[in-house]
Structure 1
């Protein structure tokens, strides 16, 4: 038995999309196997999507299973891929995405997808981080970070040049630091001189650097504005996989905008060869 999938990516952040009606007995095991870039299809996660077309705009229930088999409550680029997938199937340019972090609206304009990212928080209990007060530019496990939750936790550090940082060396101690009861993503940023930032992110659940991270891009913009490092709107953020724009509405909520591409379709076997 095989299960069909569609492969999408948003600025290099790539996902296998499987309809939630497809039977997969162990979603975590399938993600571990098929997200592997040497022995599987290769991806930053698997999105299980349930489409509810009776609503206007249509709704999509999104569950993200990461390469380590865990689930994540939110993924900015993943949600934009889910939106594109749903728009392609409903002939619309607007959808609502139900995530574990809340329901978010997505719109497609001129070939790019914008998704609401909710209200970011610095509250220690909501990040979460073991601290009495919000953490701004404090050294934690060797990196000077600001802690924010943009759907998932991020430790954001500003550096002179992201390309000069050995992220695979400096990120894991922070990602697994005792200060973080649920772990954290680790995002570094360097200013471009025009109010924007270059980005690199080591993602929790992927346990490696990814080509792009939407929640990380939003985290950079939110923290930079809070610390007075930029007053741009939108804030241009440039991960290795492409360009993203982060904007803010009157309520302080962020939106994330960028391209999405449908790469190819295929099939995977839900059970491992040993189980067949």
Structure 2
């Protein structure tokens, strides 16, 4: 049995998209584990393996005003993410490809998010939360620019961490140069720290001329991704909390390896995330009976437009 899919990319975050209406995938966790694998997962028309940062199972109500999409993101480890900023932007691009609308409501486990599609895609991200119960934290006070004693003796020892929930929990660490961080060594001790009872994404940021550069180690992916929308918002929110924002611009630029994202963190409303999102190709994927079944193929839907380096991890 196979299922139709499309591959969408949002500033470096790439997703397999499956229309959940009539969806034959019973074991979504196994489907994601097989097809997101970077070594053996979904391939493009040229036969190059790319995998994905997750599988978006989507259900569109085109008759709602505005059109409404129910979004479920299954991550490469089979877990379900409460929210994904770049994923939500890809959802809006997917819905725009199917309707004449430009505004959409996206239902996620973290709540309903409004998205607007024009040359780029912007999505509301909710209000960033620092309260320990909201992150969540195993503490009574917010974790803001604090050193965790439990990280002593690990590669993350001595780093100051700020914890914020931007749809999912993030541990934000400001450093002098994100490129100098050995993220595969430094991030896991923070991601699994006892301070985060449900784990955390770990986002490193360093100041740049127009904002911040960003690298994120994602919980559920268990590795670095080329972009992370909730991470970009976490950087902006933490920078605002710590007084690291300068000037009065409504939008700041946060740049992960996959490209620029724009983030707004207003005083009196939800954060917003803006950036590119587009379809890359489409095809058919086998529905695995278990995690051992692969054999993935894809047909290009955009002519010569193939996956480039911007959509690889």
Give the TM bin, normalised by the shorter chain. over 0.9
Give yes or no for the alignment of 1:55 onto 2:30: no
What is the aligned partner in structure 1 of residue 178 from structure 2? 162
Q: Which runs of 4+ in 1 moved over 6 A?
A: 273-276
Q: TM-score, normalised by structure 2?
A: 0.85
Quick one: distance in 1 between partners of 2:115 and 2:98? 15
Q: Which residue of 1 aligns with 2:137?
A: 129
What is residue 174 of structure 1 aligned with on the other side? 190
**Which of these residues, 194, 197, 200, is aligned with residue 212 of structure 2?**
197
2:274, 2:139 → 1: CA distance?
32
1:244 aligns to what?
261
Distance in 2 (CA, whole Å) between partners of 1:104 and 1:230 is 25
Check whether the contact 2:123–2:273 (CA below 8 A) recurs between aligned residues: yes
Q: Distance in 1 between matches of 2:100 and 2:38?
A: 32
Q: Name the SS for the 1:130 alignment partner.
A: coil
How many Å separate the matches in 2 of 1:272 and 1:15? 21
How big is the shift at 1:108?
1.2
Q: SS where residue 91 of structure 1 aligns?
A: coil
Partner of 2:301: none
Q: Kindly report which structure 2 residues correspond to 1:43-192, keeping only aligned pairs within 5 A, or say none.
A: 43-109=52-118, 111-140=119-148, 141=151, 142=157, 143-192=159-208
Shift of 1:235: 1.1
* Worse-superposed segment, 146-155 or 87-96: 87-96
Are the structure 2 counterparts of residues 275 and 16 from structure 1 closer, same or farther at C-alpha, using a change threshold of 3 Å?
Answer: closer
Structure 1 or 2: more strand by fraction: 1
What is the distance in 2 between the residues matched to 1:275 and 1:31?
Answer: 12
Q: Give aligned pairs, total.
A: 274
Distance (whole Å) between structure 1 residues aligned to residue 113 and residue 101 of structure 2 = 16
Partner secondary structure for residue 88 of structure 2: helix
Instruction: Give the Cα–Cα distance (whole angstroms) in 1 for the partners of residues 11 and 259 of structure 2.
Output: 5
Following the alignment from structure 1 to structure 2, what is the Cα–Cα distance between the partners of residues 208 and 121?
24
Rounded to whole Å, the distance in 1 between the matches of 2:40 and 2:289 is 12
Q: Unaligned stretches of 5+ in structure 1? A: none
The equivalences for 1:261-272 within 5 A come to 261-272=278-289
Shift of 1:250: 5.1
Secondary structure of 1:221's counterpart equals helix
Contact 2:178 / 2:206 at 8 angstroms: preserved in 1? Answer: yes
Which shifted more, 208-217 or 124-133? 124-133
Superposition deviation, residue 233 in structure 1: 2.4
Is 2:222 the counterpart of 1:207?
yes
| TM-score scaled by length of structure 1 | 0.96
Residue 216 (structure 1) aligns with: 231
Within 1, Cα distance between the matches of 2:276 and 2:133?
33
For the residue of structure 1 that corresponds to 2:97, the secondary structure is helix
